[in-house]
A = this chain, B = another copy of it.
Amino acid sequence: MTERLYLYDTTLRDGQQTQGVQFSTLEKQRIAGVLDDLGIDYIEGGWPGANPTDSAFFEDAPETRATLTAFGMTKRAGRSAANDEVLAGVLNARTPAVCLVGKTHDYHVTHALGITLEENLENIRASVAHLVAEGREALFDAEHFFDGWKDDAAYALACVTAAYEAGARWIVLCDTNGGTMPEEIAEIVGAVIASGIPGARLGIHCHDDTGQAVAGSLAAVRAGVRQVQGTLNGLGERCGNASLTTLIPTLLLKEPFAGTLETGVTAEALTGLRRASRLLDDILNRVPAKQAPYVGASAFAHKAGLHASAIAKAPQTYEHVEPGLVGNARIVPMSNQAGQSNLRARLAGMGLEVEAGDPALARILDGIKARETEGYAYDTAQASFELLAREELGLLPHYFDVQRYRVSIERRRGPRGEPLTLSEAVVVLEVGGERMLSVSESLSPEGADQGPVNALARALTKDMGPYQAAMEDWRLVDFKVRITGGGTQAVTRVIIDSEDGQGRLWSTVGVSPNIVDASFEALREAMLWKLVRDGVTAR
């Protein structure tokens, strides 16, 4: 016997309140597609009428299995719901569902709105009734509900009861300031249900200001609410909203939720969760959070030597769920804490099966250790690790030599005295006995300097002869630099993240006292890894 739990996503509305986030209409459409593929029940698309992007999104609304929802606020005092042009703007989006936010905290009614408590109740009642009369599914977001309850429980309850009695399908209890503890949320939700509004009509909307948005949402579900609001990757104002990316797998995989509640997310869709999370980061051009629960690159990474050897025997010893269920993968990174069992497991994950006791294993570990002493780091630079292992195993073809390179950076005054900076790189490669000389500038298509590493990357791949085709879809996505102690002096460590047309992501590392030289080494390894993984034959 399972009960239905509904998932409501507000990435496109509350998620847009994130500092630095401003979606375009096209981005909103793409994100709606990602959410729909996951199996979210409601997609809140924005506030039509409040800004041009949101209006444009609804004008050309995507076809979704999910119920597309427009957001707005309850009518203002002193006019009827039908005559409120802000509310009319929301209804004009013609969505099947409409969610209106309204005040439920007495202080906000009298101080922020400056109206009477009775006027606010009437605004809620009339607005919800108007939605219902227009044939829409009505949702009421009870703003500051928990703070309001603690201040004046009777008034907060009167507000949500007004919405309920006026026919709202859902009354969503919002912890707008994000400061309520999960136990308080559970207690207050229990009291609301006891007052007569069934849990099947209640939702929860939490913010992460004490790092407990997920816990607060789950506490409300345990207490009986049957709708959970949140955003992908926890986007949202201040510290963010409850992350659906974290909530969904917990609801589907963990007790006491799994088996007692049912959502619209299938087990198959769940395996797309990591990809959905990455797609949002890609759209926003954000670096994915490595430590994100379930979907982060580190979420199933086992670094401690003790853990890694146990993992090799039985994964459940250090994993609370199977990583494949959310589309993630186990990582046993190399570091100076690791041993041979750790190493073999990692190599197997790269498709390199090595017998226990193979002397190459000791050579690989020694190589890693020696290079870590010099300042290299292989936790993230898995591709460089693979190349080092392939070298020791005799599985690395000899593709090319870099005979020499030269990079120059120049800054001078332009015609109007303005400073101009330009980088240039010359590279001489030897491929199958042939010398290839290439030169590239660092300029973007718009003429802006992109620095010496971009110039070098371009020159390196400008003419690779027989390998040219394989490198065409290679793209630098991130570049990290760290100054670190290596031996007697400071060295620069560069980690480069690459991507290709097949959606593969890989990281390589270079170390040198010279930052350009360290970048060169990481670029060279990025190219080698791509050639190996594409199965290109060496000339």
CB-CB under 8 A for A412 and B404, given A211-B293, A239-B292, A301-B19:
yes
* A451 with B313, Cβ < 8 A, contacts A176-B318, A320-B209, A480-B483 known: no
A397 at the interface (CB under 8 A from B): no
How many Å lie between the Cα of A480 and that of B482 in the bound state?
A: 6
CB proximity of A254 to chain B, nearest CB, Å: 7
Q: Which of B222, B246, B297 contacts A183 (CB 8 A)?
A: B222
- Asked whether, in the complex, the Cβ of A405 is within 8 Å of the Cβ of B410, the reply is yes
Q: Is A371 an interface residue (CB 8 A)?
A: no
Contacts of A468 in B (CB 8 A): none
Taking a contact as CB atoms under 8 Å apart, the answer to whether A513 and B448 are in contact is yes
Q: A412-B404, A450-B514 are in contact. Are A208 and B293 (CB under 8 A)?
A: yes
Among candidates B403, B411, B448, B481, residue contacting A412 with C-beta atoms closer than 8 Å: B403
Q: CB distance A290 to B19 under 8 Å?
A: yes
User: What residues of B have a CB within 8 angstroms of the CB of A112 in the complex?
Assistant: 310, 313-314, 317
A95 at the interface (CB under 8 A from B): no
Does A92 interact with chain B (Cβ within 8 Å)? no
Q: Does A516 reach chain B (CB closer than 8 Å)?
A: yes
A504 sits at the interface (CB 8 A): no
Flag if A407 contacts B404 (CB, 8 Å).
Answer: no
Instruction: Give how many A residues have a beta carbon under 8 Å from the other chain's beta carbons.
Output: 121
**Complex contacts, A480 vs chain B, CB 8 Å:** 482-483
Shortest C-beta distance, A336 to chain B (Å), equals 7
Q: Please, how many angstroms separate the alpha-carbon atoms of A129 and B354 in the complex? A: 44
Return chain B residues, CB-CB under 8 Å to A209.
293-294, 299, 320
Out of B18, B73, B294, B320, name the residue touching A177 (CB < 8 Å): B320
Q: Mark each residue of chain A from 100 to 115: 1 if its CB lies under 8 Å from any CB of chain B, else 0.
A: 0000000110011000
A183 to B218 Cα, complex, angstroms: 10
Q: Mark A126-145, 1 if CB is under 8 A from B, else 0.
A: 00000000000000000010
Which A residues from 271 to 313 make CB contacts under 8 A with B? 285, 287, 289-294, 296-304, 306-307, 310, 313
A and B contact pairs by CB, cutoff 8 A, 11 listed: A17-B303, A18-B303, A181-B254, A208-B291, A208-B293, A210-B320, A237-B301, A411-B520, A448-B513, A481-B482, A515-B515
Q: Known contacts A24-B484, A212-B218; can you find 14 more A-B pairs with CB under 8 A?
A: A22-B372, A181-B218, A208-B291, A210-B254, A211-B243, A285-B485, A289-B289, A405-B411, A406-B411, A407-B408, A408-B408, A442-B514, A450-B489, A451-B516
